[in-house]
Structure 1
Amino acid sequence: MPVDVPSPPAPPAGPRTSPREQGGVAVLDRPEADTPWVCLVWNDPVNLMSYVTWVFQTHFHYPRARAEKLMMDVHSLGRAVVSTGTREKVEADTEAMHGYGLWATFQHADQG
């Protein structure tokens, strides 16, 4: 007499466990990859305002008016969001700001 063995429960449906077909390849949905990230530059007691403006113009290719506005936000508010995008892009921008000697961090856009 055959024994009826129950099948294992199906994995929970959700973005991290349900692959989808894309060009013949199973791809896991990763909603966190779609979440924008931000690079924040923080005020510091070292860098001149003109230098910070120059960095924003040089690295991000911002027009002078936008670079000055961001610099004033850093100076008066203590920080400014200077770039947004994927984690990889924002992480690279953060490292670039460190290379210029600025204090910078990155985080999810929806955090604080």
Structure 2
Amino acid sequence: MLFAYVKQSLAATRFLFRRAVLFIGLVIVFTACSRLPRSYTSDTTPVVETPTSATKPAPINLNTASAAELERLPGVGPVLAERIIAYREQNGRFRRAEHLMMVRGISDRKFRELRSLVRVE
């Protein structure tokens, strides 16, 4: 019982630490960009992308996806797909897509890549 609490507490602390580092990094980047001389900033008009005729594949439901479906996600191989399924079986259904970061092998960076490709229902 206590071990589960400690494990959850560590996971929550890790999650908050990653968010704090990301926030600090964004503050540094935006501060540095605002200090650039005007000649280094872009004066061109923004490029507007036209929608393509290809449709995006439907996001994969983390709570019902098989290992084969999970392996179609970029950066997810057979081992990581099995870890996701094992986490789902041990801890129950994913309640939010962000809980995917609790699976060993899913970093913040990998989650950002997968966020638009997964869903939770």
- What TM-score results when the alignment is normalised by the length of structure 1? 0.37
Higher helix share: 2
Higher relative contact order (CA 8 A, sep 6+): 1
